Structures are given as structure tokens and as C-alpha cells.
Structure 1
Amino acid sequence: MKFVFFHLMPYPYLPDDFDERFPSPSLNFPNGYFDPERGNRLYHRYLDELEHAERIGFDGIAVNEHHQTAYGLMPSPNIMAAALARRTERAQIMVLGNAIGIRGNPLRVAEEIAMLDHLADGRLVSGFVRGIGWEYFAHSINPTRSRARFDEAHDLIIKAWTSTEPFQWISPNYEFRYVNVWPRPLQRPHPPIYIPGAGSTETMRFVAEHRYTYMSVYAPTPVVARWFDGYRQAAEEFGYVPDPEKIGLSIPIYVAETDDRAHREAEPHLMWLFHKGLKQGPEIMFPPGYMTSSSMRGLLTAGMKPFPELTYEELVTEGYAVVGSPDTVANRLGELHGALGFGQVIGLFALGDITAEQTRTSMELFAAQVIPELRPLGVASDAVAAG
């Protein structure tokens, strides 16, 4: 089993009347509520946490991209990856990922990831995401073009990384008369690629076709099981069985010395994450045309509650998060592995407005007592048994 420390870099200092006055922390939540001095301290704290994760034994340290939101302060995850590249030595640096669907110039992503791969001595993982609905509004891009832009940007980036001669690229969304990326990536043919999925059949088939790594997002266990099974089925149609390491469970985690303490401490911060950070209405999450009708039908029939309506008990019992003592967390993740067959745990430990001390204690307990218990899981024989 592989273990990744994933960071959202949230801005937790929301006004006291946020719940009453603002429908979301994204898109049109005024940036006047961002305090630059607090933000400065947060960035350094969050980078410290990512660097510490490598020291205590995590296999990967991961960042991601969001725009115009207090939910995550990383409009450019590549900058964070660059800050980590020269201050770490062993862990994979994972950009999960660049929102190539909203980029006007995908070649810039190709160039930056290639540079990062060299700075990280070949430890870089490149994730690609489409970007959330509100981010298309934030960039004045029609969300109905999301899938086509993503697919074209992906194909252009891969060709730019792997071609050894200049070429011309003309497609419905992008036009480049000269493509000749310097430098090329250190890893051959290119860094590993991860793509998160939220039930879209198109994404499942895309990831399976290219033999990339498929990641889950926030969802109850039965829904994640359908996503992972859909990816495996798509892989089977392409003639192979994916290695368990090609399947990553992304999930919030909190560990304390006892179950009672863990639940007492985790509850307010998980509620911040799901009730404030993820307070995103469907009109900005899934605008018309952002998803195909079949994928939207699958999302609606999944029966998931809006995140702000979930109780703490539902978050824990339904598999949105894992909370408890080291033994409880190890046992729960072991149960989830048996049900889902993943080979990576992509853990979110910095939960909403959690303190630095609580984050460090939780991640250290996880690294010292949970990782050794679960490390033997996630091999190919387990996946066959789970299937």
C-alpha cells in the first residue's frame, strides 16, 4: 500500500456570519475577507506540513489547483511543487492536479511539469483535472466545452512531452503553429498521470484507456465502489486488469490517541470542511453542459446528500472520512480496502480550520502506527480477491 499526504491549503478564517450571508466560499465570496498576514503564515505552515510528511514516512506529498475560493489557496499548484522540490529528497511530489480544461495555454503546463520533473529528480507525479464548474465561470470559459478542452489539452501535452521534433497543433479549442517544448521531462516517456473521477463514465474510460491512475473524491463507500468497479470494467474492455496501485482512495483522516478524543477533536473541523469549504451549490458545481446527460444521470441516481446536509455521524459511518485511534483507523481502512480494492490511500489530514498542532499529531500517529499495519495490503493478489 502506498500512502500520500494530500493538502488543500484552505483559508479557515471565515466571518462569523458566513453561513447566513454567503452561499459559498467560492467565485463571488469577496476577497476582502482574505487577510494577507494570516495568508502568509498559512502558506508557510502548510508547506512545513508537507515537508514533515516526507520526513515521517509518507510516500507522496500532494497539492492541487483551485481558483477564487477559500476552500483551497492554490491557484498554481506548480508553484507549491517547486517550493517542495528542492526541500525534499524521497517522497513523490504529486500535483493532483493541473486544471488543464481552463488553461488558455496547455503548453505552459507541459513546460512547467517538465521543469518540475527535473527539479524533483524524477519524483514528480502529474495529475490532470477538468476544473470545477465555478472555475469555468471564473475564467470566462463556456462549461459546455469542458470535456473537449480537457481531452485536447491532454493530447497536446502528451505529444509535446514525447515528440522529439517540432510539430503543429490545430484543434477546435487550441492552435499552435510551433510546438517544441524545452525541456522534455526527466521521466520516460513522461511523469505518471493521475486523474480524479466523480462517477463520469467518460472519465473512467479515459483513465482506463490510457492506463493512468484513477482517484476517488468525497463520496460514501458504496458510491466509491461503483466508481472503482466502473474503472475496472473499462480496463477489462481495454484488455487488462489494473494494478491496485492504479486506484487511489482519497479521504479525510483524523487520528488521536483514543477514539473518544479523535471524534471530539475531529468533528468541528470535518464539519467546517463539508459545511463551509464544500458549501458549493449545484449551479456553480455542475452548470448546464458541464457533464454529459449520462454522467449527470449517474450523479443524480447515486442518492448523495448535499455536503452541507451531512451530519458528523453520516460522514464517519458512510465512509466520507475515517476518524479514530490508530487501531480503529487501521481497521477501518483495512475494511475499506477489502471492499474497494485500492492500492493507495491519499489522505487529507489538514481538515478545514484544524490547528497546526492537531494536524501534526494526527499525521504522526498515522505514520508511526497505521502505515506499518497497512503497508502489506494493496498488492495484486488482494485486488483479484476483492474483485
Structure 2
Amino acid sequence: MDFFSFHLMPWPYLPDDYTGSAWITVPNQLYDPGRGHELYNRYLDELEYADQVGFDGLVVNEHHQSAYGLMPSPNLFAAMLARRTTRAKIAAIGNALPLYNPPTRVAEEYAVLDVVTGGRLIAGMVVGGGPEYYSSGVNPAQARQRFAEALDLIVAAWTRPGPFEFDGEFYKIRYVNPWPRPLQQPHPPIWIPGLGSVETMELVARKGYSYVGLPFFHLSVFERNYALFRRTWLGAGREPAPQNLGVLLPIYVSDTDENARAEYEQHFWYFTRRLQKGIDIVPPGYNTVRSALRLLESMDTFSPSVRDWKQVEEGAYAIVGSPESVTEKLADIIGRLGVGYLIGLFQLGTLPHELTIRSLGLFADQVIPKLRAGFTTPPVWAEVAA
């Protein structure tokens, strides 16, 4: 098992009287650069602290025009962490490839990060969420085709001697010859996250990359998606290994179960009821019919629909409690899903710095060692009906 600390870098200062979306149209007058200065440095401190206390990796990501996440370029934040950390892998999950033209810019920047960190980069590639297509002007009906072609171009740029010509449907480059090249050979590990899209699973299985299940749905949705993932891999003639599958979950640890809930609950509701408002805006053409239908099957379990803490606990929307309780809950989830790495979202919504740091420390000191000891052999894949 490998353990990663993920950060969204959210905006925790939406006014009480603001009831609109946190995506696309949230007025940028609500952003205060002075507070932003404090937040960015605080959030980077939290990621650096995870490196110091022994996490295997740190995770940053990409969102645009949103109070939900303040990282329009994950590569910028990965670059800051590259020189301020010493041991943890740095996973940028990811670059939204259809938003980059040319995608060779991603190949170059990731290669720089890999070289500077001495081979600690994990290269995340994403299609990008539906709201990103409203804020970028990119045709959402071309999202998946652009993503697949850009991914092929990036991998070719890393592995094929240059210069060579790339003549795709969307990207036509006379000379592909990037300097630098990545340190990890043939290229850095590639992670592709997903919400259950069949097309994403098929691409990951075909290429042999790693799949990250995104959070905020009932645990049963994870079980159904991961069972489909395994069947997809087997159908592609591959047997998936634990390192091909990870799960992302909100996690909070305190000294007792009661204190953990009391300290965390209000911050969870700010996240689900305010920062996730508008996250499900999907432009026409973004999803294929079969993936749209599959997502619709799960939408009644999406975290903004959760009404009370009992549902949070039953659906594993957040893993909250004492070190003992969190260890027990996560051991059950890891065993049921068969994942090889766990990504924890340790800061959520308005959760303050001191509680975030304490939770990270308790998790590193009292949870990680027990989970490492409990999962020394590959997890068993559960057979769950699609």
C-alpha cells in the first residue's frame, strides 16, 4: 500500500448570503488576493508537512473559475513542491489535456518536473470536468477524442526519438522533439482518474496505466465501478495489479470518534452544500450515451444529496474518527475494493490549518503503519455485479 495526501486548495470564505454556484459563474469579486496569499502558502505548508511525516506522495490537480479548487495549473504547484520536498512522489492529477494546445507543452513541463525531482513525478492525465468546458471554450463533444490523441502525442514525445512529425486529427506538429526528456524511463507513471466512464476504463486497460476512482459517491458506486474496471482489464487481456488502482477519500482523524465528528462536520457540509454546487454542470456532448446513463444511475448517491451524518457514515463519503476507527474503516474499504494505493483528502472545505495538520500527523503516526502491516500482499479483487 502507498499513501498519498491530496489537496484541492478550496476557497473557504464564500459569504453567508451567497447562494449561487461555486463553479463557472461564481463572481471573481469574491476572491480576495490578500487572503489568497495566506491560503496558498498555508496549503503548500500542509502538503510539505505530509512529506515530512512520511506520506508516499502528494497530489495536486487542475480546476478553473471555481471556488472549489484554486489550482488552475497543477504544474505550478508541483514545481513549488519539487524543491521544498525530498522524498514523496508528486502526482499532478492532472493536466486536462483537451485544454492544452499543443499538448507537447504538458510533455515538456512534466519532463522538467521529473528531472528536477529525481524521478518523483506521477503524470496525471484528465479529460477535465464538465464545467471546465464552459470556462475554456473547447468543444465538449470533442473532449474524449482530443484527450486520447493528446495522450498518444505526449507518450510518443517521451518515448520516440525526435524529431518526428505528428499528424493527428486535432494536433499537427511538423517537428516533435522535446527537450528535456523525463528521467523515468520509458516515462513517468501515468494516472487517469474517473467517475465510472466506461471509455476511461477501456483506455486505461488498453494502455496499462493506473485508474483513480474519484470520491463523493456512496461506497457501493466504487464497488460497482471497480468490478467493471476489473472486467474491462480482463477483457483487454490484462490482469490488473494493485498499483493499477487507487481510491480517493476525504479523511479526518482526531483523538476520539466524538471529537472527530464535532471538529469536522461543519466543514464537510460547507464543502458538499456550497463548494460542490455547480460541479455537476455537464455541457451537451461531453459524455457518451452509455457513460451518461451509467452516471445517472449513481447521481442519487452524489454527496450533495446527502442529508445527515448517518448517511455520511453509511456511504463512506468521509472517513472520520479516532485512529483506531479510521484504520478499521479504511482496512475494510481497501479489502473490498482491492486498491493498491490510498489518496486521502485531508483538508476539506473550511477545515482550519491546525486541525488539518493534527489529522495528517495522527494518520501518518497511527494509521499508516497499521495499514501497511495489514496489506503486505496484493489485495483480492471483489466480484461485484455491474
TM-score by length of 2: 0.96
Q: Paired residue for 1:123?
A: 120
Deviation at 1:380, TM superposition (A): 4.9
Q: Partners in 2 of 1:12 and 1:358 — Cα distance?
A: 14
Q: Write the mapping of 1:10-89 to structure 2, written as runs, cut at 5 A.
A: 10-19=10-19, 22=20, 24-89=21-86
Q: Paired residue for 2:310?
A: 313
Q: Paired residue for 1:175?
A: 172
Deviation at 1:381, TM superposition (A): 4.0
Q: Partners in 2 of 1:96 and 1:163 — Cα distance?
A: 24
Question: Structure 2: 5+ residue runs without aligned partners?
Answer: none
Cα RMSD after superposing both structures: 1.4
Change (3 A) 1:236 1:379: farther
**Among 225, 228, 239, which residue is 1:227 paired with?**
225
Deviation at 1:385, TM superposition (A): 7.3
Question: Which amino acid letter does the alignment assign opposite residue 112 of structure 1?
Answer: E
Contact 2:242 2:378 (C-alpha < 8 Å) held by counterparts: no
Q: Write the mapping of 1:86-165 to structure 2, written as runs, cut at 5 A.
A: 86-165=83-162
* Secondary structure of the structure 2 residue equivalent to 1:125: strand
Contact 1:25 1:277 (C-alpha < 8 Å) held by counterparts: yes
1:52-75 superposed Cα distances (whole Å, 9 cap, x missing partner): 101101000110000111111100
Deviation at 1:298, TM superposition (A): 0.7
1:186-230 superposed Cα distances (whole Å, 9 cap, x missing partner): 100110011111111111111111111111112211100111111
Contact 2:131 2:279 (C-alpha < 8 Å) held by counterparts: no
108-117 vs 376-385, which moves further = 376-385
Q: Paired residue for 1:2?
A: 2
Change (3 A) 1:224 1:142: same
* Secondary structure of the structure 2 residue equivalent to 1:354: coil
Contact 2:336 2:381 (C-alpha < 8 Å) held by counterparts: no
Identity of aligned residues (%): 48
Deviation at 1:156, TM superposition (A): 0.6
Q: Partners in 2 of 1:112 and 1:16 — Cα distance?
A: 39
Contact 2:218 2:302 (C-alpha < 8 Å) held by counterparts: no
TM-score by length of 1: 0.96
1:295 lines up with 2:291 in the alignment: yes
1:274 lines up with 2:280 in the alignment: no
Q: Partners in 2 of 1:195 and 1:134 — Cα distance?
A: 18
* Secondary structure of the structure 2 residue equivalent to 1:13: coil
Deviation at 1:124, TM superposition (A): 0.4
Deviation at 1:386, TM superposition (A): 7.3
* Secondary structure of the structure 1 residue equivalent to 2:23: coil
Q: Paired residue for 1:258?
A: 256
Deviation at 1:263, TM superposition (A): 0.7
Q: Partners in 2 of 1:161 and 1:47 — Cα distance?
A: 29
Q: Partners in 2 of 1:27 and 1:370 — Cα distance?
A: 38
Q: Paired residue for 1:382?
A: 379
Change (3 A) 1:130 1:379: farther
Count of residues paired in the alignment? 382
* Secondary structure of the structure 1 residue equivalent to 2:259: helix
